[in-house]
Amino acid sequence: EPEVTQTPSHQVTQMGQEVILRCVPISNHLYFYWYRQILGQKVEFLVSFYNNEISEKSEIFDDQFSVERPDGSNFTLKIRSTKLEDSAMYFCASKAGSSDTQYFGPGTRLTVL
């Protein structure tokens, strides 16, 4: 069964450093999302991406965040200058054009020291 994959599974970085989180969505999906979950809190929407552009972003997704689909398979989330409060699990999700259901990857645990 096709699945969303994410790398790395765990990333440790120093405050102020740039990080790139990578996702490979399900191959025939057209809509891509990033969510985050701070430990003990609920899953929160960050950004949605369709047709090579951002279609919606949340208040959390400020100028420090960017997303890109650099080729036909990868979808990345970049945080330019990480803060302590960016420590969280980051989940990528994808959705087929004909469906209303999103499928999630296993997540990347980001730890900012």
Partner 1 sequence: QKEVEQDPGPLSVPEGAIVSLNCTYSNSAFQYFMWYRQYSRKGPELLMYTYSSGNKEDGRFTAQVDKSSKYISLFIRDSQPSDSATYLCAMSAGSYGGATNKLIFGTGTLLAVQP
> Where do contacts with partner 1 occur on this chain (CB under 8 A)?
4, 6, 31, 33, 35, 41-45, 48, 50, 55-56, 58, 89, 91, 93, 95, 100-107, 109
- Identity of the residue, 19 or 33, whose beta carbon is nearer to partner 1 in the bound complex: 33
CB of 16 to partner 1, least distance (A): 26
- Identity of the residue, 16 or 28, whose beta carbon is nearer to partner 1 in the bound complex: 28
Distance of alpha carbon 76 from alpha carbon 9, whole angstroms: 14
- Chain centre distance of CA 95: 14
Cβ atoms of 39 and 86 within 8 Å: the answer is no
- Identity of the residue, 6 or 87, whose beta carbon is nearer to partner 1 in the bound complex: 6
Which helix (H) or strand (E) segment is 57 a member of? strand 53-57
